[in-house]
Chain A
């Protein structure tokens, strides 16, 4: 096939981010200036975000969904998630600027890594082919190792990077093995083509199921789903806070989006497989919440909480077992609900994670080793705005009404009830009940008085901008919590190609 201008236009967000990488690289080569390079990166992401809207809304929009190649599809689904990823990456850049501003290391390369990783995530959500899935995943992950170990002088950071690297390699091997098994069975690597083959056979043989299962294992690692969650808290804790924010948002969103797309385009109606996924979901909810219960380190706590949240989210994939299309290329009702739930939940999750990690990045010292919740103690005195936002975000994570988190959790419960998965529903409720304990405990911590006079408020444009981002995230969380209709409409219009 030929690459036409239309295709290039559809790929505009990816291209812009790619160009930004080169520009920032040359700029760093010319002149080491933290502010300049951070601004350049941010501008690139903003341009890419604008181009997402442009692509979505322009006349060419009528030609959406566009299969740019058999590998990459730019459809409303990928554009929606690209938008989400870009917003998250932009916020991470702001936090990173505030975080690294106080640090005396080579700070500029961080933005290069972040941009590369973002590009990988964008490829990932557009992937409709095993190859692009793998390329996207690796392009996203490899810079992340470097980012996690970025403050390599601090042992924890280095350790985090190496742990993530080794375990990630194991996971990638599982993913590749799964793909190989599927290719061996059907000779296809494209999702849709594979889906056609899968639908046409009456009986799925064991190798197919194991192949899909191994792919799920590989992706489940990236999503930090139990029992592949062990790395999460160590890496979140060791990595610089903006990197944790990036890990918790961009990488999770991208992997989950591609997982859902894979299960929609190549549905495997295997009760066994979906039972296994359901067990993983339940395990994640319980493990994450149980681990967080007595964790006194805010970053570990947020890491554990993200395990639990991915557990909640995984129910969406479980529900997909009943099939998403009714055979005529139309989305079934439950499939529609799954997409809706995934989108709404992810939006809420991204906003709250950005807010919480943002506060951690802004309020804690980059070079202090212990990041206990006690470091956030008395935040209400020092930074009242941040403390209020943080408290609100934690409420959202706990799923209290009037927050985006509540809408998301409501959707998950609706999914389980709709799919009559009663024990999943029960574990969502039990998990939320446990979760409430440590979220509220952390909120209490924020408002306790402290006599630690050494912690002083940091100033500077980075801090101010970061606080602005946190406030915006909190405001959006509240807005979605009160008035979720626009977000639901947006999510509903984001359909993957081939449906």
Chain B
């Protein structure tokens, strides 16, 4: 397995090549950009085969010593175990499909926006994959943090890919700054771990945690809380969730790869990796589940009132990651990672399909201006139906059913009844907003010129990823079982099998009822919904949901405005003034001296003699 490093090397080489030869032909850029991820995916496949043939033993590759300052030693080590292999598969596999799709999408997209460089997109994308792989493979918290920051950077760069639009730049800023808040928490968490353990090696920390950290003490709680802070920032969970919806300003494949399938799930990975620390901190442990639940509900309600197809998907992503956090909170780590993987499949499918719809409708993103697309772009419709079904966890045939119901079942079985009930409500909402979107977009009559003249996309690079992801989103995807038994603890369930079946039936019923309600409300002429929205209270509620519970406004009042006020207050900083004294003095001296350089010989001679006189006088006076 010594070729483990190759997985990260290929995307890095791709990124470097694309960064250097910026003006290469589009076909070559696509080949390099997609090919590097393809090679990486093949390497992952080989690794996986060897891993399973090798009895699933973890493998550590020491590449070089990165930092070595006295006792502080950080190796550039990769670790391959069940958890990292699962994510490796998702990142390279789904990543490859998304890259392939992107090679088609960006070509179509840049037909209208000719000023943007094709190579720049793939350069950032490859760099992102590299960073994400380092994040997942890093055997050291600091190395993981390198990847963590790398993906943050790439996310920023790609959200702001269309940098000529001001809103896009602000969206990029917003994503970068808010995730940075989380990153600071994570950094503090790392410092605390270093203080307690004297190492940042993840495996050592996991092994020594029970001895080093006392359960439930303040220090332990704070450490776990800081790690959680990092996780919620990256994964767009309450209270750092506001950036994700705006991040949709980036190209759609970016939303699929970074803001749905991989980066935003890094928080889930982090908590799963360091679950030992969380188990020693009961309060924070509880908080993980509660935050997940709150986020999934808030995001669910918000998704109900969105008009932008990508924003609907963004809130659904938030909500699905809420499920993963909920799973983490009830110690169903395996279920969380399983849902992470399944979610990557169907959410990537949905995003790519939405990209396909957007291109078909000539860059129209408002769902109320689409409508009746079912017959014009049947493939996208199929994608949406299968992906939406998986998202709503319709029973038996979809993959989402298996992963989400496992979470709900385990939360119930572990005694978190409130979380279970909330999750059930979330499932209900999910199914409503998902089919609301599908019905509005694909059924009814064309609502605008753009949707009337929609054209079906062509090409293998467009079809293949969608078809593969459709297959993976059905029950077929659920056959892939992540090899987590050696890494994460199995959840012990004491409740009976019959109870599980009845609960699964219950949640299936909930999902189907949701589907029915969506059909009742949004198929046909939507008279009820219109009436509701047009009433006073209804409009307010709609506004409230549309703005995602007005978090942006609250944060603006609470943080942005006071911060700007303080900044304005410090514009005329007295310390700055104090520091300005020396240059001022120097300038004064310069002016005084320059005046003496008048170019007149007589004044030079006079100065000379005067100086000599002073010196002689000084020597004379004893």
Contact = CB atoms under 8 A, between A and B. Distances in A.
Nearest to A169: B605
A217 interface: yes
Contacts of B594: 291, 294
A272 B616 CA distance: 11
A217 B607 CA distance: 13
Interface in B563-597: 586-587, 589-590, 593-594, 596-597
B601 interface: yes
A233 B594 CA distance: 11
B609 interface: yes
A427 to B, nearest CB: 13
A224 B590 CA distance: 18
B601 A162 contact: yes
Contacts of A162: 601
Nearest to B592: A290
Nearest to A289: B586
Given A210-B616, A272-B622, A228 B586 contact: no
A228 B608 contact: yes
A210 B601 contact: no
A24 B231 CA distance: 83
B503 to A, nearest CB: 71
A276 B618 CA distance: 8
A170 B605 contact: yes
B620 interface: yes
B554 interface: no
A103 to B, nearest CB: 24
Given A217-B615, A276-B619, A291 B605 contact: no
Interface string B46-60: 000000000000000
B534 to A, nearest CB: 61
B601 A290 contact: no
A241 interface: no
Nearest to A162: B601
Given A167-B601, A294-B594, A217 B612 contact: yes
Using C-beta atoms within 8 Å of the partner chain, give the interface range for chain B: 20 to 34
Contact of A206 (B605, B612, B620): B620
Nearest to B602: A166
A455 interface: no
A449 interface: no
A276 B596 contact: no
B620 A210 contact: yes
Contacts of A272: 618-619, 622
Contacts of A233: 597
B604 A230 contact: yes
Contacts of A170: 605, 608-609
Contact of A167 (B605, B610, B616): B605
Contacts of A213: 615-616, 619
A162 B604 CA distance: 12
B165 interface: no
Contacts of A166: 601, 605
B605 to A, nearest CB: 6
B619 A206 contact: yes
A180 interface: no
Interface string B382-408: 000000000000000000000000000
A234 B611 CA distance: 19
B615 A231 contact: no
A253 B586 CA distance: 29
A287 B619 contact: no
Contacts of A221: 608
A171 interface: yes
A73 interface: no
A357 interface: no
B25 interface: no
Contacts of A209: 619
A467 interface: no
A163 B620 contact: no
B619 A231 contact: no
A35 B233 CA distance: 74
A38 to B, nearest CB: 32
Nearest to A273: B619
B326 to A, nearest CB: 57
B459 interface: no
Given A294-B590, A294-B594, A434-B586, A234 B599 contact: yes
Given A290-B586, A291-B593, A294-B590, A230 B607 contact: yes
A471 interface: no
Contacts of A280: 615
A167 B618 contact: no
Contact of A293 (B587, B601, B605): B587
A293 B586 contact: yes
Contact of A163 (B593, B601, B612): B601
Contacts of B620: 206, 210
Given A287-B593, A290-B590, A227 B610 contact: yes
Interface in A245-293: 272-273, 276, 280, 286-287, 290-291, 293
Contact of A227 (B599, B601, B611): B611
Nearest to A212: B619
A273 B620 CA distance: 10
A133 B609 CA distance: 22
Contacts of A206: 619-620, 622
Contacts of A171: 608
* Most central of B599, B612, B616, B619 by chain A CB within 10 Å: B619
A331 B426 CA distance: 91
A76 to B, nearest CB: 33
Contacts of B615: 213, 217, 276, 280
A406 interface: no
A174 B611 CA distance: 12
Contacts of A287: 593
A231 B597 CA distance: 9
A497 interface: no
Contacts of B605: 166-167, 170
A380 interface: no
A88 interface: no
* Most central of A228, A231, A290 by chain B CB within 10 Å: A290
A73 to B, nearest CB: 29
Interface in A207-224: 209-210, 213-214, 217, 221
Contacts of B590: 290-291, 293-294
B597 A291 contact: yes
Contacts of B586: 290, 293, 434
Contacts of A234: 597, 599, 604
A230 B596 contact: yes
A166 B587 CA distance: 31
B589 to A, nearest CB: 4
Contacts of B610: 227
Contact of B604 (A210, A214, A231, A276): A231
A163 B587 CA distance: 28
Interface in B528-585: none
A228 B611 CA distance: 7
B188 to A, nearest CB: 35
Nearest to A214: B616
Contacts of B604: 163, 167, 230-231, 234
A75 B383 CA distance: 94
Interface string A153-174: 0000000001100110011001
Contacts of B619: 206, 209-210, 213, 272-273, 276
Given A234-B597, A290-B586, A290-B589, 15 more contacts: A167-B601, A167-B605, A170-B609, A217-B612, A217-B615, A227-B607, A227-B610, A228-B608, A231-B604, A233-B597, A234-B599, A272-B619, A273-B619, A291-B590, A293-B590
Interface of B: 586-587, 589-590, 593-594, 596-597, 599, 601, 603-605, 607-612, 615-616, 618-620, 622
Q: Top 3 nearest A-B pairs by Cβ distance?
A: A227-B611, A230-B604, A290-B589
10 contacts: A174-B612, A209-B619, A217-B615, A230-B603, A230-B607, A272-B619, A286-B589, A287-B593, A290-B589, A290-B590
